[in-house]
Amino acid sequence: MSSVPLPLPRSYLEEGFSLWSWLATIDHKRIAILYAISITLFFFAGGIAATLIRMELITPAGDLVSADTYNKLFTMHGVIMVWFFLIPSIPSTFGNFLVPLMIGARDLAFPRLNLASWYLYIAGGLFTVGALVAGGVDTGWTFYTPYSTMFSNTHVIAAVCGVFVVGFSSILTGMNFIVTIHKMRAPGMTWFRLPLFIWSMYATSIIFVLATPVLAMTLFLVAIERFAGVGVFDPALGGDPLLFQHLFWFYSHPAVYVMILPAMGVASEIITCYARKNIFAYRSMAFAVLAIAIVGFLVWGHHMFVSGQSIYAGMVFSILTFLVAIPSAIKVFNWTATLYKGSIRFDAPMLYLLGFVGLFTIGGMTGLFLASLALDVHLHDTYFVIAHFHYIMVGGSVMAFLGAVHYWWPKITGRLYPDRWARFAAITVFVGFNLTFFPQFLLGYLGMPRRYHEYPPEFQVLNVLSSAGASVLAAGYLLPLFYLLWSLRYGPRAGPNPWRATGLEWQTASPPPVTNFATIPVVTAPPYQYSPLEDARRG
């Protein structure tokens, strides 16, 4: 029968030191580290593309790179950032690391599948990098037909294959999380005792599992249509390009929520910890993430208001879009209310997450502008859209990702980082981000279209502002790389619970042992056992 060895006091990091012990690991914590390293590499690859884009746009003329190179740069930026950084970012690293720890399990339900999903991610990455090395792709990350199937002369099929493969990595991760959260919770860990991060992982997994296969099929059809010259998307072949757009956005709109839901989960963990206060309205927070995941599937047509879809479809999708705004608004209000009568500290993770709430609010509110039909007709495909989704994805997701890196760093590595530097980096990122992207809202309403290599001179002032901000933002992103790596060697040892947080993950050693817990904990209370009164008394 079962033969679980008694857990050794050795941490998961000391379990083996060879490369093979990492590449063949089935420990969820080690796989999380593998993901963390890979997505960081992709983040900086996508960041280099972004830097070149912003440098090109300093002058109205297309003088730094050629038009074709520019088109390949924004395609590379989009493909890498969406599929190889943002979508796997929090779920594959922190989700992998924390889901079993937070629910009191020894591992995910299917550890081998988990490793397979990392290898699929790498395989997809190799395809994509291959397409880039071989000469690039110029379709934009959206792969709109018939441009992608008939007219582009670049390596579309390889890029599409990369995204297809990485999609299966998402699907496997999602399956694993759903089963783990359902079946592997520690005794006493009822659904309403789950930390909100787990709820957000659950909602994210639903989207992974139900949306990604549609993308896979769509890209499959694109590849065949391009390869064989027969298909359903190109009007010249009797197809309909809007069919592609419907299928693509059925995935890609929920995918936006894949990027933001985990960030919301992180926000709930960190804000409660540093406000020393339990989350306001736990249940509505939990239901809100589920509502966002489900209603998020009903709104994809708002990407197509000027595409030539029927005006009735436009109106249905517009009204549904306003509905999905409500649970997001609830979350923002509840985080704010959580601060009320708290005992607030401003350590680096808290700064990142307060920044997240602010930027997400702006991103969300401008999303409502875009959901408004008559207004979207003007704003669609302008820099207003660019600014809006960067506020959500960079201002929202990346801020929360960085906050999570700092918050769980002692748990993952067992070391503390220099908080003063971290706070400085957080403020730099916040300032740099706003300098970069706020001018783009103005550019957008003035009418500057996206994906423009050159632009009329009247837009230059705002573009220069944006590019200047980007350099600040880049500095803000590079800083943590240095002090975090420094802390690996020189940082003071963190105890099991340096932040006096109340999740299960803080009840085991830092870094945790291979089997996570010496004995599986028994849960008797809801999450977030914080007391601001007591904390304030301690001073």
Partner 1 sequence: MAEAVIVARQFDDAEQQRRASDLGMWVFLATEILFFGGLFVAYTATRLHDPQAFATASRLTNVTLGSINTGVLLTSSLTMALAVRATKLGLRRASIGFLCATAALGIAFLGIKFTEYVRDWHERLVPVLNFAHVGPHAGGVETFFYLYFFTTGLHAIHLIIGIATVAVVATMAARRRFSPDYFTPVELTGLYWHLVDVVWIFLYPLLYLVART
Partner 2 sequence: MWSFPLHPPADSSLATRVDHLFYAWLALAGIVTFAIFFLIVYFSAKYRHDSRANRAMPSGATLRRESHRIEIAWIVTPLVLFLGMGFWAAGLYYAHAAPPADATEVYVVGKQWMWKIEHQSGQREIDELHVPAGRPIKLVMTSQDVIHSFFMPGFRIKQDVLPGRYTVLWFTADHAGEYHLFCTQYCGTDHARMIGRVVVLAPAAFERWLASGNASPSMAEEGKARFRQYGCSGCHGASASVHAPKLEGLFGRRVQLSDGTSVIADERYIHDSVMLPRKDVVAGYEPIMPSFQGQIAEEDLLEIIAYVKSLRDAKPGDIR
Partner 3 sequence: MISHPVPPARTYVLVWVALLALLLVTLGSAYVPLGRINAAINLAIAATKALLVVFFFMHLRSAHSMLRIAATAGFFWLAILVGLSLTDFAVRY
Contact present, 136 and 76 (Cβ < 8 Å): yes
Instruction: Write out the binding residues for partner 3, residues 297-316 only, by CB under 8 A.
Output: 297-298, 300-301, 304, 309-310, 312-313, 316
Beta carbon of residue 303, minimum distance to partner 1 (angstroms, whole number) = 16
How many residues bind to partner 2 according to rule CB under 8 A?
Answer: 91
- Paired tokens of 256: 């936006």
Among candidate residues 511, 339, 335, 481, the one with its CA nearest the CA of residue 408: 511
Residue 74: enclosing H or E segment and its boundaries? helix 67-79
Residue 146 binds which entry of partner 2, partner 1, partner 3, none, CB below 5-8 Å type-dependent: partner 2
- Round to whole Å and give the CA distance between 210 and 294: 10
Asked whether position 539 contacts partner 2 by CB under 8 A, the answer is yes
- Round to whole Å and give the CA distance between 73 and 136: 8
Residue 346: count of CB within 10 angstroms of its CB: 12
- Round to whole Å and give the CA distance between 536 and 517: 31
Stretch that binds partner 3, among 15-23, 35-43, 244-252, 419-427 (CB under 8 A): 244-252
Residue 276 binds which entry of partner 2, partner 1, partner 3, none, CB below 5-8 Å type-dependent: partner 2
Contact present, 505 and 411 (Cβ < 8 Å): yes
Asked whether position 450 contacts partner 2 by CB under 8 A, the answer is yes
- What is each CA distance from 309 to 252, 302, 329, in whole angstroms? 17, 10, 29
Residue from 24, 134, 230, 236 touching partner 2 (CB under 8 A): that is 236
Residue from 110, 381, 427, 438 touching partner 2 (CB under 8 A): that is 381
Contact present, 221 and 141 (Cβ < 8 Å): no
Instruction: Write out the binding residues for partner 2, residues 18-77 only, by CB under 8 A.
Output: 62, 67-68, 71
Question: Which positions from 298 to 337 touch partner 1 by CB under 8 A, shown as an x/- string?
Answer: ----------------------------------------
Q: Which is nearer to partner 1, 316 or 464 (CB)?
A: 316
Residue type, 397: S
- Round to whole Å and give the CA distance between 123 and 17: 24
Stretch that binds partner 3, among 42-50, 134-142, 240-248, 257-265 (CB under 8 A): 240-248
- Round to whole Å and give the CA distance between 154 and 132: 10
Question: Which positions from 112 to 151 touch partner 1 by CB under 8 A, shown as an x/- string?
Answer: ----------------------------------------
Asked whether position 237 contacts partner 3 by CB under 8 A, the answer is no
- Round to whole Å and give the CA distance between 121 and 480: 25
Q: Which is nearer to partner 3, 251 or 383 (CB)?
A: 251
Beta carbon of residue 264, minimum distance to partner 2 (angstroms, whole number) = 15
Q: Which is nearer to partner 3, 29 or 246 (CB)?
A: 246
Beta carbon of residue 443, minimum distance to partner 3 (angstroms, whole number) = 31
Residue from 210, 290, 446, 468 touching partner 3 (CB under 8 A): that is 210
Residue 229 binds which entry of partner 1, partner 2, partner 3, none, CB below 5-8 Å type-dependent: partner 1
- Write the CB contacts of 539 (distance below 8 Å, at least 6 apart in sequence): none
Asked whether position 388 contacts partner 2 by CB under 8 A, the answer is no
- Round to whole Å and give the CA distance between 74 and 57: 12
Asked whether position 465 contacts partner 3 by CB under 8 A, the answer is no
Contact present, 114 and 26 (Cβ < 8 Å): yes
Among candidate residues 59, 15, 54, the one with its CA nearest the CA of residue 459: 59
Residue 390: enclosing H or E segment and its boundaries? helix 383-390
Contact present, 126 and 120 (Cβ < 8 Å): no
Residue 63: count of CB within 10 angstroms of its CB: 11
Beta carbon of residue 235, minimum distance to partner 1 (angstroms, whole number) = 10
Residue 418 binds which entry of partner 1, partner 3, partner 2, none, CB below 5-8 Å type-dependent: none
Contact present, 295 and 320 (Cβ < 8 Å): yes
Asked whether position 431 contacts partner 1 by CB under 8 A, the answer is no
Stretch that binds partner 2, among 182-190, 208-216, 222-230, 331-339 (CB under 8 A): 331-339
Among candidate residues 474, 434, 420, the one with its CA nearest the CA of residue 47: 474
Asked whether position 371 contacts partner 2 by CB under 8 A, the answer is yes
Contact present, 352 and 402 (Cβ < 8 Å): yes
3-class SS of residue 444:
helix
Inter-helix orientation angle 111-133/156-183, to 10° = 160
Stretch that binds partner 2, among 183-191, 193-201, 380-388, 392-400 (CB under 8 A): 380-388
> Using CB atoms within 10 A of its CB, is residue 482 exposed (0-12), middle (13-18) or buried (19+)?
exposed
Asked whether position 17 contacts partner 3 by CB under 8 A, the answer is no
Beta carbon of residue 170, minimum distance to partner 2 (angstroms, whole number) = 25
Beta carbon of residue 142, minimum distance to partner 2 (angstroms, whole number) = 8
For tokens 């607030």, name the residue: 344
DSSP 516: S
Instruction: Write out the binding residues for partner 1, residues 52-111 only, by CB under 8 A.
Output: 100, 105-111
Residue 230 binds which entry of partner 3, partner 1, partner 2, none, CB below 5-8 Å type-dependent: partner 1
Asked whether position 507 contacts partner 2 by CB under 8 A, the answer is no
| Chain centroid offset of residue 90 CA | 6
Stretch that binds partner 1, among 204-212, 301-309, 404-412, 468-476 (CB under 8 A): 204-212
Stretch that binds partner 1, among 223-231, 267-275, 472-480, 521-529 (CB under 8 A): 223-231
Strand partners, 415: 493
- Kindly list the residues in this chain that would bind partner 1 in the complex (CB under 8 A): 1-2, 4, 100, 105-111, 171, 174-176, 178-180, 182-184, 209-214, 216-218, 221, 224, 228-232, 237-240, 243, 246-247, 515
- Kindly list the residues in this chain that would bind partner 3 in the complex (CB under 8 A): 182, 206, 210, 214, 242-243, 246-247, 250, 297-298, 300-301, 304, 309-310, 312-313, 316-317
